[in-house]
Copies of this chain bind each other. A is one copy, B any other.
Amino acid sequence: MFSDVKACIFDVFGSVADWRGSVSRDLAGFAKEKGIEGVDWLVFAVEWRKLYQPAMEEVRSGRRSWEILDTLHRESLYKLLDRFGVRGLSGADIEHMNKAWHRLDPWPDAVQGLTMLKRRVAIAPCSNGNVALMVNMAKRAGLPWDCILGAETARAYKPMPRCYLSACEMLGLQPHEVMMCAAHNNDLAHAKKQGLRTAFFPRPTEHGPGQTTDLAADPAAVDLPAADIIDLARELGC
């Protein structure tokens, strides 16, 4: 049924990697090293993520010119350090903390599932993360991407059509030959509207134990529901 799919492109934050667990663990470890006390780093990570969409919306709306996600993350980090009363860090410390997003751990099925998919199709992130972020994460985690696509190569943040369509163009493929794969129905709905195929796999603890959203595929947005990336690879005959 999906034999004409020649590439799978992936949402990364939440779908391939566990941002909530990884960022909070990374910052907590660094804070301990630096003797910073009194901050709940899980709360901090969640607050950081909350500033993600509004920061990108400034760029999407055209109110500010193109900036990569590392820059938006850094601006949000400065705000949060101030709000949480964390003082006395050096520029290098803050840069290290900002790169917590380059050090995300993948979900347990991600490396094996991507490795299986890579045998038959091209695999790439189609993430709002910038190229360096994706390259550093992939090298640390062993994610075997064929190339890095997404917001920076398109100069447009998801869910703008340009982000999905630029990935297809750069792969030299028609949208129906490319499958957008994510744990977020909303991302998939936007990709489907541009003519891409879509695959959903749930990440029921992305937002913590009480998660109520994206627990199942939305049939209106999803062509192929899967259990995880290994299951997705099997469904595609890899």
A residues near B, CB below 8 A?
70, 122, 130-136, 138-139, 145-149, 152-153, 170-173
Contacts of A139 in B (CB 8 A): 122, 146
- B132 lies within 8 A of A170 (CB): yes
Which secondary structure dominates where chain A touches chain B? helix
Copies of this subunit: 2
Given A138-B146, A147-B147, are A132 and B70 neighbors across the interface (CB < 8 Å)? Answer: no
- B147 lies within 8 A of A170 (CB): no
Contacts of A148 in B (CB 8 A): 146-148
CB closest residue in chain B, given A132 = B172
23 contacts between A and B (CB under 8 A): A70-B172, A122-B135, A122-B139, A130-B172, A131-B147, A131-B153, A131-B170, A131-B171, A131-B172, A132-B170, A132-B171, A132-B173, A133-B172, A134-B147, A135-B146, A136-B172, A138-B146, A139-B146, A145-B146, A145-B147, A147-B148, A152-B170, A153-B153
CB closest residue in chain B, given A171 = B132
* Complex alpha-carbon distance, A131 and B172, angstroms: 8
Contacts of A152 in B (CB 8 A): 170
Q: How many whole Å from A192's CB to the nearest CB in chain B?
A: 22
